[in-house]
Amino acid sequence: MKTATHALLFLLLVVAAAPDCLAGETIDEVSLETLPPSVVRTEPLCGDRTVDPSLSEISVTFSKDMKVTGHCWSWCSVQEGSFPQLAGDTEYLEDNRTCVLHVVLEPEKTYAIWINVDQFQSFQDPEGHPAVPYLLAFRTGPGG
């Protein structure tokens, strides 16, 4: 009985501390303003296996406005050969939440792109909070 009580108390302490450990920083009050931006939509969709290889733009949309001046993005390769060929300047749309990467895709190829990862944390909100890392992976179809 005593061991079970100690185990229960330990478990409660771990559960109580988990939000602080997972967040990486202490937040006084949880709100949309204090939480880091997160990916809410991508084009193409993550996991899509039939992306048209003629698609010329990959986009990511965040949960809040982003810092849009200067080089404020971190599109990162997962490994050599998994990143698309670039075909123009990266840009933010007028909504300040959607960043567009202009690309040339190959048919029947798998692409894997990190949005913020490791030391590459340039996707940030205007207050400097880096976006939560996100892995965008998709495969192109045979093409026309």
The model's pLDDT over 34-56, given as tens digits with 9 standing for 90+, comes to 899 999 999 999 999 999 999 99
pTM for the whole structure: 0.80
- For residue 144 the two structure tokens come to 């026309």
CATH fold for domain 35-139:
Immunoglobulin-like (2.60.40)
Interatomic CA distance for residues 86 and 104, integer angstroms? 6
pLDDT of residue 2: 52
Q: What is the pLDDT of residues 94-119, one digit of tens each?
A: 999 999 999 999 999 999 999 999 99
Give percent above pLDDT 70 in the chain: 81
For residues 100 and 123, give the distance between their C-alpha atoms in angstroms, rounded to a whole number. Answer: 12
User: In whole numbers, what is the pLDDT of the chain averaged over residues?
Assistant: 86
CA distances in angstroms from 111 to 70, 99, 122, 127, listed in the order given: 26, 18, 21, 31
The predicted pLDDT at position 26 comes to 65
Taking the alpha carbons at both ends of the chain, their separation in whole angstroms is 69
pLDDT of residue 29: 86
Per-residue confidence band for 70, with pLDDT thresholds at 50, 70 and 90: confident
One-letter amino acid for residue 20 of the chain: D
Is pLDDT larger for residue 65 or for residue 28?
Answer: 65
The number of helices, as runs of H, and strands, as runs of E, in the chain is 1, 8
Q: CA-based Rg of the chain, rounded to a whole angstrom?
A: 19
